[in-house]
Chains A and B, each alone.
Chain A
Amino acid sequence: EPEVTQTPSHQVTQMGQEVILRCVPISNHLYFYWYRQILGQKVEFLVSFYNNEISEKSEIFDDQFSVERPDGSNFTLKIRSTKLEDSAMYFCASSVGGVSNQPQHFGDGTRLSIL
């Protein structure tokens, strides 16, 4: 069964540095998402992406964050000037369609640790 893959599995970065988290969505999926899960807390939506542009974003997704689909397969999340509170698991997801009744397929996540 095709999977969403994320790299790296664990990223350790000094506060103030920039990080790029990478994702390869399922190949025939058209909608892509990033979520964040702070340890022990719920899954929080960050942003959705379709047709090379952001479809929706949450209040969390401020100017510090950006997303890009640089080629036909990768989908990246960039976090500029990282803060301690950015430490979390970051999950990429994709879905075939963008309507509400489509399940999302998640990667195994990148654990981001800001020191």
Chain B
Amino acid sequence: AQSVAQPEDQVNVAEGNPLTVKCTYSVSGNPYLFWYVQYPNRGLQFLLKYITGDNLVKGSYGFEAEFNKSQTSFHLKKPSALVSDSALYFCAVSPPSGGSYIPTFGRGTSLIVHP
């Protein structure tokens, strides 16, 4: 069975500083990995995904994520945080094609960017 861990409930960063939101996963075979963002009273919005190829994936709003197979990690990063980036971030993993395609979501990490 696949699983996702987001080890930090909350990440605090000052505006203008780089940010990292951590995610590790467990799945049989090569994973499909996703990051979603949830703003207050809104649904989840897709940020980026890793399917195959370049380990560094670029997504919406200046976010990027690095796939590390040896460490089974897919950390979300941004070089310079904005106050408007404050939100709840969810990592998700889907199994490779064949069988279930339903993603498993992590518990979420609250990102707080201070002015």
Q: How far is the CA of A41 from the CA of B88 in the complex (A)?
A: 11
Contact among A42, A44, A91, A103 with B43 in the assembled complex (CB-CB below 8 Å): A91
> Do the beta carbons of B94 and A42 come within 8 Å of each other?
no
> Do the beta carbons of B105 and A104 come within 8 Å of each other?
no
- Chain B: CB-nearest residue to A43: B105
Which secondary structure dominates chain B's binding surface?
loop
Q: How many residues of A contact B (CB 8 A)?
A: 24
Q: Tell me if A45 is interfacial: C-beta within 8 Å of chain B.
A: yes
Size range of the chain B interface in the assembly: 20 to 34
Give chain B residues whose Cβ lies under 8 Å from the Cβ of A4: 43
Give chain A residues whose Cβ lies under 8 Å from the Cβ of B45: 106
> Do the beta carbons of A42 and B108 come within 8 Å of each other?
yes
Contact among A102, A104, A108 with B41 in the assembled complex (CB-CB below 8 Å): A108
Supply 9 A–B pairs (Cβ within 8 Å), ascending by A: A4-B43, A42-B105, A44-B105, A56-B100, A99-B101, A100-B94, A100-B96, A100-B103, A102-B101
Besides the known contacts A101-B94, A109-B41, 4 further A-B residue pairs in the complex with CB atoms under 8 A apart: A4-B43, A101-B32, A103-B46, A108-B41
